[in-house]
């Protein structure tokens, strides 16, 4: 089976084509993907590098049990927080999942804000095996002596394209990019481009956008709701389970700030304001990432739009694309 039988409004999906709904945090990707699932038989393939982790529900804005009951969801709650999961692994596993969804005669809807995961799924992800333990040790010493800011500045000079889409505090990615450059003499983005492995299916990529002031207000409100729902208790529970605050998963917006609060480094008001600020900055970086993608079709939505209105806007956009 394939997705060619699926028709939304007057738009008929081409054979073996997935619908990708992406965009910044807090904009309404989950709601729109569920609205699509209300209209056609679909399964949701999450493209969120934090929703893969168990016990991290509130801070990742994971779809609720009721929302997940609307349609089958994939890549949610699949790993313990202390397990690393690369974009290359996601590419491999998600491609298998998409094929299985097609076989079930349903439409795969990829929904999420992790641009790297989405790119890995669609374009492939070249996992370079090259390693140099002495170089890695040297870079770690530089990290300890010079700090991540100086290393990130070097990374930005070497590979401005990838650096513009990388969080300045992402130590693992910065060190790996520098290691690869010094081993190969090439920036990581160039190596990835030279080794593209496009997915064996087509896609229509819809990126959601919203007037910036409205989006930031929505983000601020959602952060308040996260704290009301028990974000502090969620983070405390993770620490009580023995998960280190230094884990990659815990270095996420909403978690690292609450850890600082629990450690007595900041008060609750400051904690909330930092989560809001860092969430807005994350949204800005996501906009930058998706604007750099050549295959994106932008769909503007507004805070006043209900789920049905957003879905109608999507249907009209699909017709214009066709």
**Which of 134-138, 215-219, 305-309 tops mean pLDDT?**
215-219
Across all residues in the chain, what is the average pLDDT?
92
Burial class (CB in 10 A: 0-12, 13-18, 19+), 297: middle
Q: What is the pTM of this model?
A: 0.83
Give 9's Cβ-side CA count (13 Å radius): 14
Q: State the pLDDT at residue 5.
A: 60
Cβ–Cβ under 8 Å, residues 29 and 21: yes
Phi–psi pair at 128, nearest 5 degrees: -70, 125
Which among 174, 194, 214 is the end of a domain? 194
| Domain match, 233 and 317 both | yes
Asked whether residue 85 falls in the same domain as residue 154, the answer is: no
What is the rounded distance in angstroms from the CA atom of residue 46 to the CA atom of residue 33?
10
Q: What is the pLDDT of residue 130?
A: 65
E-strand stretches of 157-295: 202-209
CATH number where 98 lies? 3.40.50.300
The Cα 286–Cα 308 span in angstroms is 25
Return the minimum-mean-pLDDT range out of 95-104, 265-274, 301-310: 301-310
Same domain, 247 and 315: yes
Tokens of 285: 């970086």
The residue out of 175, 194, 213 marking a domain boundary is: 194
Same domain, 65 and 201: yes
Shared domain for 154 and 285, answered yes or no, is no
Residue 51 confidence class, pLDDT cut points 50, 70, 90: very high
Q: Are 2 and 102 in contact (CB under 8 A)?
A: yes
Are 66 and 201 in the same domain?
A: yes
Residues 171-182 pLDDT 10s:
888 998 998 888
Q: Are residues 23 and 100 in the same domain?
A: yes
d(C-alpha 217, C-alpha 221), whole Å:
6
- CATH number for the domain spanning 146: value is 1.10.20.140
Same domain as 143, residue 285: no
Q: Is the domain of 118 the same as that of 225? A: yes
What is the distance between the alpha carbons of residues 232 and 216, in angstroms, rounded to a whole number?
22
Provide the pLDDT confidence category of residue 3 given band limits of 50, 70 and 90: very low
Strand order in the sheet with 17-22: 73-74, 42-46, 107-112, 17-22, 202-209, 296-300
Report the percentage of the chain scoring pLDDT > 90.
72
**Residue range(s) defining the domain that contains residue 253:** 3-125+197-321
Q: How many domains does the chain have?
A: 2
151, 179, 194: which is the final residue of a domain?
A: 194
Position with higher pLDDT, 316 vs 227: 227
Query: Are 143 and 210 in the same domain?
Result: no
CA distance 141 to 154: 15
Q: Domain check: are 9 and 106 in the same one?
A: yes
Is-contact 36 20, C-beta < 8 A?
A: no
Sort strands 7-8 and 202-209 into parallel, antiparallel or unpaired: unpaired
Which two three-digit tokens encode residue 234? Answer: 């969620």
- Same-domain status, 219 and 313: yes
Planar angle of CA 162, 113, 150, nearest 5 degrees: 35
Inter-residue contact 259 to 251 (CB < 8 Å): no
């Amino acid at each position: 089976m394939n997705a060619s039988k699926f028709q939304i409004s007057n738009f008929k999906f081409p054979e073996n084509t997935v619908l990708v709904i992406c965009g910044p945090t807090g904009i309404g990707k989950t709601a729109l993907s569920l609205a699509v699932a209300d209209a056609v038989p679909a399964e949701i393939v999450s493209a969120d590098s934090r929703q893969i982790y168990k016990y991290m529900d509130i801070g990742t804005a994971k779809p609720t049990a009721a929302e997940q009951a609307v349609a089958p969801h994939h890549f949610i709650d699949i790993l313990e927080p202390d397990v690393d999961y690369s974009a290359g692994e996601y590419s491999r596993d998600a491609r298998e999942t998409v094929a299985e969804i097609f076989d079930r005669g349903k439409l795969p809807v990829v929904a999420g804000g992790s641009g790297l995961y989405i790119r890995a799924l669609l374009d492939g992800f070249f996992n370079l095996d090259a390693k140099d333990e002495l170089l890695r040790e040297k870079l770690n010493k530089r990290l300890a002596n010079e700090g991540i800011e100086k290393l990130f500045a070097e990374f930005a000079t070497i590979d401005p394209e990838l650096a513009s889409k990388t969080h300045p505090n992402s130590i693992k990615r910065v060190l790996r990019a520098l290691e690869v450059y010094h081993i190969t003499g090439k920036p990581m983005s160039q190596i990835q481009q030279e080794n593209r492995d496009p997915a064996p299916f087509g896609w229509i990529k819809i990126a959601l956008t919203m007037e910036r002031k409205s989006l930031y207000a929505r983000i601020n409100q959602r952060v308040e709701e996260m704290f009301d729902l028990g974000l502090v208790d969620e983070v405390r529970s993770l620490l009580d389970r023995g998960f280190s605050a230094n884990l990659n998963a815990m270095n996420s917006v909403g978690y690292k700030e609450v850890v600082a609060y629990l450690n007595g480094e900041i008060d609750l008001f400051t904690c909330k304001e930092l989560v809001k600020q860092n969430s807005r900055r994350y949204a800005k970086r996501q906009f930058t990432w998706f604007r750099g993608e050549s295959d994106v079709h932008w769909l503007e939505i507004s805070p006043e739009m209900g789920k049905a209105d957003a879905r109608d806007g999507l249907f009209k956009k699909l017709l214009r694309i066709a």
